[in-house]
A and B are shown apart, each in its own frame.
Chain A
Amino acid sequence: MTITLYIPCFIDLIYPQVGIAMVRILEKLGHRVECPESPACCGQPAFNTGYWDESRATAVKVLQQLKDAEVVVIASGSCGAMIKVFYPDLFAGTPQEGLARQVSAKCFEFSQFLVDKLGVTDLGARFPHKVTYHDGCHSLREMHIHAAPRQLMARVHGLELVEMKQTVCCGFGGTFSAKFPMISTAMGEVKCELALETGAEYIVSSDSSCLMHIQGLIDRRRQPLKTIHLAEILAPA
């Protein structure tokens, strides 16, 4: 099939390797990958802050970009939730309501797409390290993704997964990290402690925005941890 890849702004700017890994994985599985050349922000910052009119002004371009796609894979759980779960609310009562529902229905987060849509769990990947997995809150609680990343990691050669003893928000929360930095930081510190307790070398996630916040804390505090996106582990060598 032809898969349209939606690349959020922070993947484009800061973690292009995540998008590149996804392209390589999907192409290796024999699919054609499309990606709109023009940038388009999903509109979550304005939406979360309560400025829904302004959010729609941004989001409407995403709808236009994706309206003719056969299927859409979104390279982040949090933008995934925005498009799949919140667009119908955002566009309710507007002329784009129908289009928003239509686009929402054909969107998937990356790990969810591989496991639930393509039925693939074994990508022949190799990553001989001890890792722990961070579930981004939007992935976990808005998109209900929990098993898929774990099924994928279970088939990675040499990977040892140790779960953190508590599932809790890392504290990024988008604009929350800037509006309430002290709470955001405290929450991130707890997350790093939980990860360190597992003895893992890597924190893996499907949400680069969470990892950006966690890595920022790890670097500042010089802790013996690294963050990596799930797609980077799964990508062909």
Chain B
Amino acid sequence: MSASASQFKRDAVRLTADLRHRSLIQTALGNYEVKRDEKKALFQDYDGARQLAAEIKWEAINRLDRHLDQFVRGLEARGTKVHWATTARQACDIIVGIARSKSARSIVKSKAMTAEEIHLNRALEQAGFEVVESDLGEFIVQLRDEPPYHIVFPAMHLTRGEIQRTFKDKLHDAPSDNPEALTLVARRVLRQKYIHADIGLTGANFAVAETGMISVTENEGNARLTAALPKTMITLLGIEKIVPRLDDLALLLPMLATVGAGQLISGYNTLYGGPRQPGETDGPEEFHVVLLDNNRTALLANAEQRDALHCIRCGSCLNVCPIYRHVGGHTYATTYPGPIGGVITPNLRGLQDWKHLSYSSSLCGACTEACPVKIDLAHHLLQNRRNASRRKPSWWQKIAFKLFAPVANGRIPWMLVTKGGRFGQRFHGLIRGTPIDPAYCWTRTRDVPRIAKQSFKEWWRETRK
């Protein structure tokens, strides 16, 4: 078992027993479900919408070279500087390089999971730049030196009391634990950051090929401010964010909001197509777009799982996943948790090191059902398991499964199992539920059923003679 797999299990043991955590997450996600279902019901044909969305992303990804090319040409035609990065390291270097060339001191940042993926904040801080997260949830976890808990709701796991304590410790300003009062504190602090920051750093939800624009979705307005006030704007995005046309957003933006947050549409959906243009009086003088590969092309080459790149990062698979609800976002210990994380992380970061994320699923399929772009998530988890076992089989499991066929399929061996099981069960009680019980993983928390006095096949043989 890899180190991350053992840590995953340790964290899972701790969190599944934490009833306070369980209740907090159940409540948060229960509220989300009600709103989500209300908004879904407004669609005339929500399933039809999923199919259209799937087709849009299929076109985007399966003709990615053409669309990326058009996207970049559109951006460059209006003065945007476009950079390409194969690795996380290269992307960090490019952005640090831009910051240095601008003699920047402070950087204000809006939410970008891709930036988490490449550990951009750490690279910038090590290079001497102040980086301030402006999204309230990200701001809070940044103060606490924690990674985000959820890709859409970074501070889902915290209570107001915990947030108040954090503000008190780090900002020396926390008059009460009232959410409105706390938000006002953050607003005050961050307003000055927007105005005085040298660089605004954003992510992007979509990249429109047709018009050469990035699209940023948010509710707080912090990305709008990040893209309006600083003199230099940098946007980091994965190459898979492409959508072919502006019109495609008419479908994708409402779907993202509906399943992502139970809203008809998010508060601010903004398209940026360049730096300040002639005749415009504000906005950045320089606009840089950094395109990141970081093994996305490897996933692209895996045609069976290529649709995982269709992901619009809505978080709905996390929200419905019972495993996510019980172990929480931090247990995954990687940027993308939940089912989508279980699918892409072994592809992007290493199959053997991360296959445990594909194994820690009951394969219930709620994720596949929830995905607005119809990614075949649960089946991809199965495929990851198959690929991992093929490349590096576990010798004892291979032997056990090899022996399974003749035992489960042979009349005499199965009869021995049946009779042996009945016999053994009489003594099982002595060790049941103790660490020397071979069925301990079951009996620690559950009783075992009794083996029937007469099996079905025994009955069948007897009554059909």
Contacts and interface: CB of A to CB of B under 8 A. Distances in A.
Q: Do chains A and B touch in the complex (CB under 8 A)?
A: yes
Interface of A: 7, 9, 11-17, 19-20, 23, 35, 37-41, 45-52, 54-55, 57-58, 61, 137-138, 140-142, 168-169, 171-174, 176-188, 190, 212-213, 215-217, 219-220
Contacts of A220: 445-447
B397 A49 contact: yes
B12 A39 contact: no
Interface string B10-40: 0011001100001000100000000000000
A25 B215 CA distance: 59
| 6 tightest Cβ-Cβ pairs between the two chains A and B | A173-B362, A216-B446, A50-B385, A50-B389, A169-B364, A141-B365
A186 B457 contact: no
A216 B401 contact: no
A141 B366 contact: yes
Interface in B441-465: 441-442, 444-452, 454-461
B451 A14 contact: yes
A51 B397 contact: yes
Given A58-B404, A179-B359, A187-B326, A13 B451 contact: yes
Interface stretch (B110-118, B254-262, B408-416): B408-416
Given A141-B369, A172-B362, A39 B459 contact: no
Contacts of A177: 441-442
B401 A46 contact: yes
A50 B22 CA distance: 30
B408 A41 contact: yes
Which one of B26, B378, B384, B457 has the greatest number of beta carbons of chain A within 10 Å?
B457
Interface of B: 9, 12-13, 16-17, 22, 26, 322-323, 326-327, 359-366, 368-369, 378, 382, 384-390, 393, 397-398, 401-402, 404-405, 408-411, 414, 417-418, 421, 441-442, 444-452, 454-461
B460 to A, nearest CB: 5
A50 B362 contact: no
B171 to A, nearest CB: 36
Contacts of A213: 446
A57 B446 contact: no
B445 A217 contact: yes
A137 B446 contact: no
Contacts of A190: 22, 26, 322
A61 B408 CA distance: 10
Contacts of B390: 50, 52
Nearest to A22: B456
Contact of A37 (B409, B452, B461): B461
Given A7-B457, A40-B409, A50-B390, A13 B361 contact: no
A7 B456 CA distance: 8
Contacts of B452: 13-17
Contacts of B456: 7, 11-12, 16, 19-20
A141 B219 CA distance: 33
10 contacts: A19-B456, A46-B404, A52-B386, A137-B366, A168-B364, A169-B322, A176-B363, A179-B359, A183-B12, A215-B449
Contacts of A40: 408-409
Contacts of B369: 141
B16 A183 contact: yes
Given A41-B409, A49-B397, A49-B401, 12 more contacts: A9-B414, A19-B460, A38-B409, A40-B409, A47-B382, A61-B405, A137-B362, A176-B363, A180-B323, A180-B360, A182-B12, A188-B446
